[in-house]
Amino acid sequence: MRNGNNKVYDLIEQALIKEQLASLPTLDKVKRAVNQARRHKTTGLDGTPVEALKERAYVLSEFLDSYKQFSASKSGKPVFSYGYESYNGPHMWKHEFPECAGENQSPVNIVTRQVVAVNSDSCLVWSGYSCQPLSMRMSNECGTAVIRGEWPSNLQPHITGGPLEFSYEFHSMSFHWGPSDHDGSEHTIDYLSYPLELQMLHCKRGFRHPMDVVMVGAKDGIVILAFLFEITAVDNPYLDHIVNNLWRVASPSSCVPIPPFPLDWLYAPFKHCYYTYNGSLTQPPCSEVVTWIIQSDPIAISSQQVAQFRRLHSKDGPIFYNSRPVQHMNCRHVYYYE
C-alpha cells in the first residue's frame, strides 16, 4: 500500500494515530474521531477540545483527498473529477462516491396526488432574510454559480419551525439549469421540469460548513430550500445583481464581489404551502443528510436571464446542463405542509 511517497504517508499516519485512529488513512476513520469527540461532549480521549478536533479532522480529510489525487497521478491512474459529461456525469458518480447509489437520494419527482398532507400549527420562522449583508461574492465552482454572503454575527439568516426541530443558518446558494427553457431544474413536479432551480443551503446551528455535516454523518445536518423558476416575458429585476454579473464568473474557479442584497429579494418568506422530504446532496459525495423544503409557487424569470447562466464554463467547456436526474423515492414520502 505504501509507495515512494513514504514521508507524506507517514505524516498522515502520525496525525491519524494522534486522533486515536488506526494506521490506515481513510475518511471513515476521521469521521470516527469526530464522533468520538462528540460523544465526550467537549473533548476527545486525549483531552483535545471538540472544535479543535473537528478542525483538525477537516484539514486532515482535505489533506487525504489531495494525497489520494497526488498518488493517483503519480501512479498513472486518471484522477476522477465529477461533472455532467458522459465520462464523469451522474451515472458515473457512484463508482467514486458510493453514497450516490444510496436509498435516499435527491432530486426526486414530486407526484402531487401521492403527497402526504400535513396540517401543522408549527409555521416556518424566517430570521435575517430581510437584512442587507455586509458583502456578497459569486463564484464558478462545482459546475454551477455559487453565492455567499457575510452578515453581522447576530444577523446571520436562519430558519426553523415546520418540519425542522432545530435552527439552520444560511451558508450559500447555487443554481441548476438546462440547455433550453423547458428543462433544467433538478426537482420536477408531476414530471414537469422547470428552466432553473435555486437551492439555498443551510447548516444546522453548530456546524460551520456542509463538509462538517458530511464528516459526522448528521442526518438532520442540512436544510436546502429549493425554488423553481418559470419563464415570463419580462426580466425579473430582483435577479439583476446575480444575472448581470454571471459573465464575470464565466471561467471555472473565478470569483468576484457582487452588490449585496437581502435574501428575501429572491422570494417572499412563506409559512405554509411547501413540499418537504428527506434526501441527499445532489452533487458528490451525495450524502444523505438533507431535509429538502421545496416551494410550490415558481419564481418569475425571463428567457434572456436564464440564458446568462449558460455563459458559464467548466473545465469541460460551456455549462449547458448541470442537473442530476431524478432519483427513486424507494420507501420515502413527500409531505405537503398546508
> Cα(173)–Cα(40) distance, rounded to whole angstroms?
34
E strand segments, the chain: 109-110, 116-118, 124-127, 135-141, 144-150, 158-161, 164-177, 188-189, 196-204, 222-232, 255-258, 274-279, 290-295, 299-302, 313-314, 317-318, 335-337
pLDDT of residue 33: 54
pLDDT of residue 47: 52
> Cα(129)–Cα(279) distance, rounded to whole angstroms?
24
pLDDT of residue 4: 37
pLDDT of residue 255: 96
* Pairing status of strand 313-314 against strand 188-189: unpaired
> Cα(188)–Cα(258) distance, rounded to whole angstroms?
30
pLDDT of residue 73: 44
Question: pLDDT truncated to tens, each residue of the chain (338 aa)?
Answer: 334 344 444 444 444 444 443 333 445 555 555 555 445 444 444 455 555 555 555 555 544 454 444 444 444 545 558 999 999 999 999 999 999 999 999 999 999 999 999 998 899 999 999 999 999 999 999 999 999 999 998 899 999 999 999 999 999 999 999 999 999 999 999 999 999 999 999 999 999 899 999 989 999 999 999 999 999 999 999 999 999 999 999 999 999 999 999 999 999 999 999 999 999 999 999 999 999 999 989 999 999 999 999 999 999 999 999 999 999 999 999 999 99
pLDDT of residue 187: 98
Q: Are 27 and 215 in contact (CB under 8 A)?
A: yes
What is the pTM (predicted TM-score) of this model?
A: 0.80
> Cα(283)–Cα(106) distance, rounded to whole angstroms?
9
Cα–Cα distances (Å) from 22 to 15, 27, 304, in that order, read 11, 12, 55
Instruction: Return the exposure string of 85-98: e unless at least 16 CB atoms fall within 10 Å of the residue's CB, then b.
Output: eeebebebbeeebe
CATH superfamily of 99-337: Alpha carbonic anhydrase (3.10.200.10)
> Cα(58)–Cα(99) distance, rounded to whole angstroms?
19
pLDDT of residue 55: 54
pLDDT of residue 250: 97
E strand segments, 205-267: 222-232, 255-258
